[in-house]
Amino acid sequence: MADILEEIVDNKRIEVDAAKQKLPFYELAKRVEQFLAENPLKPRSMHDTLMTSKSGVIAEFKRKSPSKGWIHADAVPTDVVPLYEKNGASAASILVDEKYFGGSKHFIEMVRPMVSLPILYKEFIVDEYQLYEAKLAGADTVLLIAATLSAPMVKKLVETAHQLGLEILFEVHSVSELNKVVPETDMLGVNNRHLGTFVTDVQWSFDIADKLSKDFLLVSESGISNPQTVKELRNVGYRGFLIGECFMKEQNPGEALKTFIQNIEQC
Tens digit of pLDDT for each residue in 82-125?
A: 999 999 999 999 999 999 999 999 999 999 999 999 999 999 99
What CATH number is associated with residue 38? Answer: 3.20.20.70
Is residue 202 within 8 A of residue 229, CB to CB? The reply is yes
Q: Which residue out of 191, 192, 205, 220 is catalytically annotated?
A: 191
Model pTM score: 0.95
Is residue 125 within 8 A of residue 144, CB to CB? The reply is yes
Is residue 64 within 8 A of residue 25, CB to CB? The reply is no
Dihedral sign for Cα atoms in the order 56, 61, 63, 64: negative
Q: Which residue out of 12, 53, 55, 60 is catalytically annotated?
A: 60
Q: Which residue out of 12, 55, 62, 177 is catalytically annotated?
A: 62
User: Is 55 part of the annotated catalytic residue set?
Assistant: no
**How many domains does the chain fold into?**
1
Q: What is residue 195's predicted lDDT score, i.e. its pLDDT?
A: 67
Q: What is residue 151's predicted lDDT score, i.e. its pLDDT?
A: 96
Give the β-pairing of 64-65 and 141-145: unpaired
User: Is 184 part of the annotated catalytic residue set?
Assistant: no
User: Is 68 part of the annotated catalytic residue set?
Assistant: no
Q: What is residue 196's predicted lDDT score, i.e. its pLDDT?
A: 64
Domain coverage including residue 52: 4-266
Is residue 46 within 8 A of residue 167, CB to CB? The reply is yes
Q: 172: helix, coil or strand?
A: strand
Q: Which residue out of 85, 133, 167, 171 is catalytically annotated?
A: 171
User: Is 221 part of the annotated catalytic residue set?
Assistant: yes
Q: What is residue 41's predicted lDDT score, i.e. its pLDDT?
A: 73
User: Is 123 part of the annotated catalytic residue set?
Assistant: no
7 Cβ contact list (under 8 Å, min separation 6): none
Q: What is residue 1's predicted lDDT score, i.e. its pLDDT?
A: 36
User: Is 225 part of the annotated catalytic residue set?
Assistant: no
Give the residues of the chain that fall short of pLDDT 70. Answer: 1-2, 195-197
Q: What is residue 68's predicted lDDT score, i.e. its pLDDT?
A: 85
User: Is 39 part of the annotated catalytic residue set?
Assistant: no
